[in-house]
Structure 1
Amino acid sequence: MKRFLATVAIGALLVSAAPGQRGALAETPADQLVVAFNMSNVLTMDPAAITGGETVQILNNVYDSLVSLNPETLALEPRLAESWEIAPDNMSVTFHLRKDVTFASGNPLTAEDVAYSLKRLLKLSQAQASMLTSRGFDAEQADAQFVAKDEHTFVLTLPAPDDPKLIMMVLAEAGRGSILDSKLVQENETDGDMGAAFLTNNSAGSGAYTLNNWRANEYVILTRNDAFWGDAPEMKRVLMRHLPESQTQRLGLEQGDIDVGFSLAAPDLRGLEKNEQITVESVPSAGFYYLAVSMKDERYADPKVREALRYLIDYDGINGAIMPYFGVKRQQPINSYVFAALPDPGYALDVEKAKALLAEAGYPDGFETTLRVISTQEFLDSATAIQATLAQAGIKAEIITGDGGQIYGAMRERSFELLVGRGGGGQQPHPDSNLRAMAYNPDNSDEAKLTNYQNWRTSFFDEALNGMIESALVEPDADKQATMYEDIQRKMEELVMSIQPFSERVVTAAYQSDVHGVVVDPWTSRFEDVTKER
C-alpha cells in the first residue's frame, strides 16, 4: 500500500491530501479519476488483439464504434453513426456517419476509416476477429463486405443470412468494433504489420480520451481528447491502477486515494457497504453460474435424472448466502436483460420430488459421482452446497477442484460427470448469444471439437432444437422472432437440458459517493460522463 500511495502521483496525476468531508484523509483531484482494477489480462492496446473485459473497459474510452449499447437498457444507440437502415432482406446495413468527427490526431473520420478498421481486423485474424469470422465474414471477401459508399456512408453486407441487429451489437464492443485512424496507423506500419507494433502501446482513436501511458501490470493513464466530438468530459485524466488485491482496493477507497474499485472480494464489499461515503453497486453481466452434466454418462443421459437434479439445487440458499456481488437467481438459459427472455420456471429445492424421479430412472438409492469445480470461492461454496443437497437424495458427489485449465479442460475434453461452472454467452444482449453457447450443437461427434459450444462439451444434441435456433436468428419480423425465442426456451425446458443455470452473473464495483456517472459493467463502461461533487 505504501508503494501505491507513493506512485499514485504519476505525471500530472498528483493526488494531494485535501481537507474536506473526509477530514484529514486524502482526496483525489476534482478533475481526475483514479480507478483500481486487475489488469493481469491486459496484454496489448491493439484493438484487433485484445482479450478480456478489462481491456475493453480501457479502450471503450479511447476508440469510438459505429453504435453503442445503452448501459442501462442495452438498446442500440447512435455513436459514430447518426442513423442506419437495415435492408428489407436483412442482408445489409447502411450507416450514416457524423460529419463533425475528427480523430485525436486531427485527421477527419470518414467511411474509409470504418472500412479499413474492419478489413484490418479480418486480415490480422487475431483474437477479436473470431466473432466476425464465425458469422461468415472473410478477409478475402472483405472489400465486398465493408464498403465506403461515400465519405460519410458505410455499407456492411452480411456474408450469410443472419440477424443484422446482432452484428451491430457485436460491433458496439471495443476491440472488434473500434474505428481506427487509418492514416495514422498506416504512417506507423512496420514491415507490413498494419500498425500492430505501434498500436501495442499507442492509440489511434476518436474517443473521449487518448492513451497517454501504459505499463503492463502497473497502470494506464488516459488523457482527455480535446478533439472529441461529444461534450468535453469533466475528468481531464484517468489513472487506472493495477491493484489485484481486494484489501488494497478497499483501503484505498476508505482513505480516499481511489475513486473506483472494480476488483473487490465479497468480504471487502460487505465492509464497504457500511461506509456512508462509499457506494457499492451490482449490475447484470453476461452469462450464468450453472450445474452441468455429461450426456456421455448413461445416468445423466436419462432425462429423469437430469430433471431430478433440477430439484436438488437450493437456488434461494445459494443466491442468498453465497452469490451476493457475484450473481442473482436465474434459471432460464437467456439472460434476464435480453429481449424475449421468459421469467424463471420456479424450480426449488424439493428432495422428495427428486427421489421419486431418481426411482423412476432406476436409482432409488442414488449413486456415486464426481463434481468438478474451480477453487475460486463462490464456485467452491456453490459446489459444496450442491454436494450437500445431492446427498439428501442419495447422490454421493466427490468434489474435484482445480484451476480453470484443469476443470474447464476436462469439460472441453468431454471427460467429466458433474461440473459447477460459469459461462453461457450473453456478451451481446441477444438470445442467440446465449443459445449458441447453452443449446446449439451442430455436430456432436468427438472429432468436431466444437469447444466454444458449451452444449457440445456436455454431449447434448437435439436436431430440432438446432433448427429452431437457426430459424429464429434469421426471422426478420421482430414480433415473430421474439415468439420463436420464447418457444425455444419452452422447448429447452421440456428437453431437460444438460446445463442448468442457478444464478445470473453480476459484476460489482465500489466508488466514492460523490462520484457520479460510473458504469459498472466493463463491456459498456465509459468515463466520459463521470463527474465529482467537490
Structure 2
Amino acid sequence: MKYLRFAVLASAVALPLTAGADTPDNALVVAQNIDDIVAIDPAQAYEFTSGELVTNLYDRLVQYDADDTDTLAAGLASEWETDAEGKTITFTLRDGASFASGNPVRAEDVVYSLTRVIKLNLTPAFILAQLGWTPENVDQMVTADGNRVTIRYEGEFSPAFVLNVIASRSASILDSELVKQHEVDGDMGNAWLNENSAGSGPFRLDRYQPAQMVRMSANENYFNGAPAIDSVIIRHVAEAATQQLLLEQGDVDMARNLTPDQIASMDSEEIKVETYPQAAVHFLSFNQKTESLTDPALWEAARYLVDYTGMTDSIINGQMEVHQAFWPKGFPGSYDETPFSYDPEKAKQILEDAGVETPITVTLDVINSAPFTDMAQSLQASFADAGINFEILPGTGSQVITKYRERSHQAMLLYWGPDFMDPHSNAKAFAYNSDNSDENYAATTTWRNAWAVPEEMNAETMAALSEADPETRLEMYRDLQQKVQENSPIVIMFQAAYQVAMDEDVTGYVNGATSDFVFYRLVEKN
C-alpha cells in the first residue's frame, strides 16, 4: 500500500484526494464519520465516537482493556476490597502510574474526578448518581486516605453492579492539577477538556477540530506499556464512498463507515475486512408529544411494517442482524425472540380495528450517513403501504442527537449502546421513566420519546436492579424486554455488527462490543 507524508497529515484537515500519497510507518490514519461528537470531557461525553476517544485518553480504577474486552480488570487500582453490608468498596492505587503530563496519579485525583462528574451534573452524571451520589453528599461518598480511595453507595446493589458503574467512561480519572489550571468561571475545566485531554491513558490528545479531525500521540509513560504506534490520526470523512477511495489510494490505513456494497466490492489484496459484533441496538421510536403517534395500535402496527429481512439481505447485510429486544444478544440476560416480520396487511388490519385514521404524515429524523439514510428510505417505503408517510429529515449526528435530547422530533431512527456492562444499563433506558415532565431531563429513550412508562414496569426495573439471586435477576430483565417488545413506542429492529476495512499490514486493532471498547494501543503497521 502507498503512504502519505506525516507533515501533510499533521497540518491539514481536508486533504486532496490524489493517488500516490503515503501514510507514515509510525502513524495510523483513520477515515471515520466523527460528526456525532458533542463533547469529549469524560464528565460530558455521551456519544459513540466520544466514548472511543475517552477510552484511549483516560483510565479508570477498574476497566475493560484491549487485552481482554470481556473481563473487568485492574486499571489505576491494583486491588480492591468490597464490603456488601457496609456498602463500600476500597481501592488501592497502583504504584508508579502517572498522567500524560508527568504528574503522578494520586488518590486526590480520583476523588476530584468522581465528585466533579456529580457536581457538574452533565449528561452522563446519572451513571454515577445511581450509587446515591448527589452534589450535597458526594464529598462524603468518595474519600481518600493515602493511596487508598473508598467509595460508598446507597441502594440495594451487588458489588458487581457497582464495579461496572465505576468502570464506565464517566468514571475516568483526570489530572486534577492540570484541569484546575484551566478552570473558567467555575466550569471545573469543562470548556478546556472539550478541546484537550488530562488523562493517564495510552494516548494524549494533540489536536481536536470538531467535524474535521482528531490527532492523538502515544503516552510513553503509560503504566501498561507505551502503545506500539506513535500516533493515531482520525480524519472526519462523512461520505462512505470517499472513505473507500482514500483507503484504496493509500491515503488512509483504515475506513470505518463503509456500506455493505462497498465491503463486498473490495477485491484488493492489500485491503482486509474485519467484522466485530456490537452491543448497539437500532430502533425506530415515536415521540409521545405528537398526538397522532400515541395510539398503542400504531406502535403494534409499526412492528409489522419494518422490512427486517429486506434490509439485512441488502443495505445492512453484514452490518446488522435482526434483534427485537433492548439487551444485546450474546450478553447474559438477553431475550432473543423475534416475533415480528414484515406484514403490511396485518398492520393495516391492526390500524383499522383500532379506528386509527390514515394517512398519517410523520417527520423522521436520521443521521445523514450510510447506512442510516438507506434504512430511513426503506422504512419510508414499507410504512407507506399502511398509510404512514415518513418525511425524512437528515442531519449530522450531533444535530439529530441534540434534537432527540430536546424531545422536539416526531419519529427518530437511532441506535443505543449500554453505558456499562450490566442489563440495568439498557433497562433504565428502555423500560423506566418515573417522571415524564419536561423539567426532569433523563438520558433515556423513554424520556426522550416522552413515554410515561407504566408504573408496574418502573417498579419491575428497580426490583431487578436489587435482586440478589443472579438467575432470577436475569429472568426479570428478560421479562422486561418482552414487555417493551410487545407494547411501547420504541420499535427495536436490529443489533449491530461492525465491519472495518483496513490495510493488510495493520494488526492489533481492537473493537469490542461497545464504543468504550475501541482500542488503538496494540496497533502495529508491519
TM-score (normalised: structure 2): 0.82
Tell me which residue corresponds to 2:226. Answer: 232
Alignment CA distance shift 1:94-1:297 (3 Å): same
Q: CA deviation at 1:29?
A: 3.4
Q: Tell me which residue corresponds to 1:37.
A: 32
Deviations 1:409-467 (A, max 9, x none): 58965884xx35214452323222222222212135x5566564433425353211111
Aligned pair count? 508
1:461 aligns with 2:456: no
- Seen in structure 2, the aligned counterparts of structure 1 residues 43 and 397 have a Cα distance that, compared at 3 Å, is closer
Distance 1:486 1:86, change over 3 A: farther
AA at the equivalent of 1:100: G
Name the amino acid aligned to 2:515: P
Identify the range of structure 1 (482-491 vs 405-414) with the bigger mean alpha-carbon deviation. 405-414
Q: CA deviation at 1:500?
A: 1.9
Verify: 1:63 aligned to 2:55, yes or no: no
The answer to whether the Cα contact below 8 Å between 1:411 and 1:458 also exists between their aligned partners in 2 is no
Contact 1:262/1:510 (CA < 8 Å) preserved in 2?
yes
Is the contact made by 2:328 and 2:334 (CA closer than 8 Å) also made in structure 1? yes
AA matched with 1:437: A
Q: 1:8 to 1:289 in 2, by over 3 A?
A: same
Q: What's the CA shift string for 1:271-296, capped at 9, x where partnerless?
A: 4x333322233434454332334667
1:512 is matched with 503
> What fraction of aligned residue pairs are identical, expressed as a percent?
32
Tell me how far apart the structure 1 counterparts of residues 381 and 35 of structure 2 sit (CA, whole Å): 35
Question: Greater shift after overlay, 199-208 or 326-335?
Answer: 199-208
1:256 correspondence with 2:250: yes
Q: How far apart in 2 are the matches of 1:195 and 1:414?
A: 30
CA contact (8 A) 2:432 2:461 kept: yes
Could you tell me how far 1:319 is from its partner in structure 2? 1.9
Cα deviation for residue 103 of structure 1 reads: 2.5
Q: Does 1:112 align with 2:103?
A: no
1:368 matched residue in structure 2: 359
Residue from 430, 434, 438 that aligns with 2:430: 438
The alpha-carbon distance between structure 1 residues 178 and 517, as it changes in their structure 2 partners (threshold 3 A), is: same
Change (3 A) 1:240 1:348: closer
| Cα distance in 2, alignment partners of residues 243 and 358 from structure 1 | 42
Structure 2 unaligned runs (5+)?
12-18
Which ranges of structure 1 fall in alignment gaps of 5 or more residues?
A: 12-23
Contact 1:56–1:173 (8 Å) recurs in 2: no
Whether 1:10 and 2:3 are equivalent positions in the alignment is no
After the TM superposition, which of the residue ranges 94-103 and 451-460 deviates more from structure 2?
451-460
Question: Closer, same or farther in 2 for the Cα pair 1:482/1:522, shift >3 Å?
Answer: closer
Seen in structure 2, the aligned counterparts of structure 1 residues 370 and 183 have a Cα distance that, compared at 3 Å, is: same
- Contact preservation (8 Å) 1:335, 1:434: no
Distance in 1, Cα, partners of 2:482 & 2:22: 53
Q: 1:280–1:511: 8 Å Cα contact kept in structure 2?
A: yes
Cα separation, 2, equivalents of 1:298 and 1:41: 29
Q: CA deviation at 1:403?
A: 4.0
- In the TM superposition, 1:44-83 aligns within 5 A as 46-69=41-64, 74-83=70-79
Q: CA RMSD in A?
A: 3.7
Superposed CA deviations along residues 376-407 of structure 1, whole A, max 9, x for unmatched, are 36445434434544455xx2122222245689
Normalising by structure 1, what TM-score?
0.81
| Distance 1:84-1:475 versus aligned 2 partners, 3 A rule | farther
> 2:23 touches 2:29 (CA, 8 Å); kept in 1?
yes
Is 195-204 or 78-87 further displaced after alignment?
195-204
Question: Contact 1:90–1:164 (CA<8 Å) still a contact in 2?
Answer: no
Partners of 1:124 and 1:196 in 2: CA distance = 9
Task: Report the more deviating stretch, 428-437 or 280-289.
Answer: 280-289
Residues 171-220 of structure 1 show CA distances to partners (whole Å, capped at 9, x for unaligned) of 4344x222122344445656765455664554332222233344555544
**1:98 and 2:91 are equivalent in the alignment:** no
Q: Corresponding residue for 1:276?
A: 269
Separation of aligned partners in 2, 1:408 and 1:194: 23
